[in-house]
Structure 1
Amino acid sequence: MLLLFYSMICSFICYKLAEKNNRNKLLWAISGFVFSFISIIALAVIGSAGTETDRQIIEMTKAKFIDLYSHNEEKAKENLLIFRVYLKLQNGEPVSLEQLNLSVMSLQSIAK
């Protein structure tokens, strides 16, 4: 029972580290559950997946998202994905480039 609890804690820590480091959260959570503390160390050592170019792309995509959202706010609130991304950005939470791109595409289709 104690081992299960320990594995769950390691899984949660890996999930949060992966989220912070722009890595696959589910994969690292599973790894944390199976390999426990070894996964935490590995994730801490490899660090963030983002390069400076990646960060610039994300910032440009965020700006595009916010611009599209502000021009289509009423319709955008009806789309759960778009609204969740908007709330994450407002709260300063990390948003993956994939989520941003999907939201931008959805906003572009709403704007038409």
Structure 2
Amino acid sequence: MLHFALSIAVTLLAATSASSFNPATDAQGKADPTVCKKVVSAEPGAKPYQMCMTKAEWAAKKKADAKNPNRIVCRYEDSTGNRLKSYKICMTAAEWIDQRQRERDSIEQIQRKVCVAGGGC
């Protein structure tokens, strides 16, 4: 929810700065053009919306987001037994790292099991 509110605040800030004075200029004194991208919040059922910022603002946002372990990361995973159906899973970046580590640990545990002849596996 905080991520969604923050995204709206950035959108409103970009919209008001685009309509008024734009301090972002390149070396030749020309205004840095805004770049609009579709973004989606992590809330269930959220639809994509358009966010407009300058290239420098997008780069700064991407760099800041990459460092934040509490950012929401959504991935689409295929449904088992159905090639056409997938579902969206959203977790924080730290939760994705924890899940990946748990999966690795369980795979290593399975691989370390030793099958004994006559005892079963």
TM interval, shorter chain, is under 0.3
Query: Which of the two has greater helix per residue?
Result: 1
Relative to its length, the structure with more strand (as a share) is 2
If asked which structure has higher relative contact order (CA below 8 Å, sep 6+), I would say 1
TM-score (norm 2): 0.25
Higher radius of gyration, 1 or 2: 2
